[in-house]
Amino acid sequence: MTDTGQGQRHLERIAQVLAGRRPEKVRYPIRIRRTEVVRTAAVGAGLLRVTLGGPGTAGFEAHSPIDHVKLLFPDPDGSLRLPEPDGDLLRWPRPHPTSREYTVRRHDPVAGEIDIDIAPHEGGLASDWAQAVRPGAVLHVAGPPGGLIVPAAYDRYLLAGDITALPAIARWLEELPRDAKGWAFVEVARAAEEIELAPPRGVEVRWLHRGDRPPGTGGALARAVTALTVPPGERLYAWMAGEAGQVRPLRRWVRDELRLERSDYEITGYWKRGVADFDDDQEHEH
């Protein structure tokens, strides 16, 4: 099938899901793109935005608030190994190239720009790169491989996460229907890490301050979310992400207490204390 045919096929599937009642993951044609850093900027005290541009962004797609890409970095020996196109997929070299996965915070096809928001932390590969990088630097980006498409068929939405989930939550709040209702819980260290959001009027945003406790500890997010009273008889969609151990009780609560159907929630460990390049797909319960 031609690129045009494949493109039409996944766009048609996205339209079908949006018109339906249940979320579905839809695959996009995956590409490897050579981008250039346009600028960097602080977003509050807790995030650093890297804006990517250049001809390689042409045709980039991001249809879901939680679409993600892999940022590809040189190996420790300095060599850069890139995947090769394989139809609508990529063929990855073995061992897997050095990469880190991040949410697409914003995509502006007119300007040809992609924003990636990174939470700086000591010793993080992408974090160190983002703090040192200058405009004009080249970065190869793979993906997105597809996205979770959620129709506007729910009575309420529940979003929750730590600062690593804040870019996705911010995009969720921008893209929800303007008449949507629900809640968004975000745990940050302190008020300086809060950022301006654009929620629908019916979505309440609650900031939780962790204080001096290390990231991924304390359980404040789980306590706040599980204290919520969800109106009976309403359809709820829940999306939550953060440190793997911190979101585990939330997954149990959604499944065992709220008894949501599996398609009505997505709960992901974005990172795990003490583990570099954590992959939640290998861990989380379904």
Q: What is the pLDDT of residues 181-234, one digit of tens each?
A: 999 999 999 999 999 999 999 999 999 999 989 888 889 999 999 999 999 999
Selected residue with higher pLDDT from 121 and 134: 134
The whole-angstrom separation of Cα 141 and Cα 56 is 9
**Model pLDDT for residues 122-173, shown as the tens digit of each residue:** 888 999 999 999 999 999 999 999 999 999 999 999 999 999 999 999 999 9
> For residues 181 and 157, what is the distance between their CA atoms, to the nearest angstrom?
6
Residue with tokens 């997105």: 144
| Mean per-residue pLDDT of the chain | 92
pLDDT digits (tens, 9 = 90+) for 65-92: 999 999 999 999 999 999 999 998 999 9
Cβ-contact 74, 16 below 8 angstroms: no
Q: 158 is written with which tokens?
A: 């529940």
Name the strand (E) or helix (H) holding 4. Answer: helix 3-18
Question: Distance from first CA to last CA of the chain, Å, rounded?
Answer: 34
Tell me the mean pLDDT in the region 38-61: 97
Q: Is the pLDDT of residue 4 over 90?
A: no
Query: pLDDT at position 218, please?
Result: 87
Q: What is the pLDDT of residue 217?
A: 87
pLDDT score, position 46: 96
pLDDT, residue 283, reads 40
Which residues make Cβ contacts (< 8 Å) with residue 26, sequence separation at least 6? 10, 13, 14, 17, 63, 146, 147, 149
Can you tell me whether residue 251 is helix, strand or coil? helix
What is the average pLDDT across 60-66? Answer: 96
Least confident of 1-15, 56-70, 272-286: 272-286
pTM, rounded to two decimals: 0.92
Q: What is the mean pLDDT of residues 113-128?
A: 93
The per-residue pLDDT for 10 is 92
Question: Given this model, what pLDDT does residue 248 score?
Answer: 94
SS3 35: strand
Q: What is the pLDDT of residue 284?
A: 35
pLDDT score for 121: 85
Residue 275 pLDDT grade (very low, low, confident, very high; cuts 50, 70, 90): low
State mean pLDDT over 44-60.
97
Contacts of 128 (CB under 8 A, 6+ apart): none
At residue 259 the predicted structure's pLDDT band, cuts being 50, 70 and 90, is: very high
- Residue 216, pLDDT score: 87
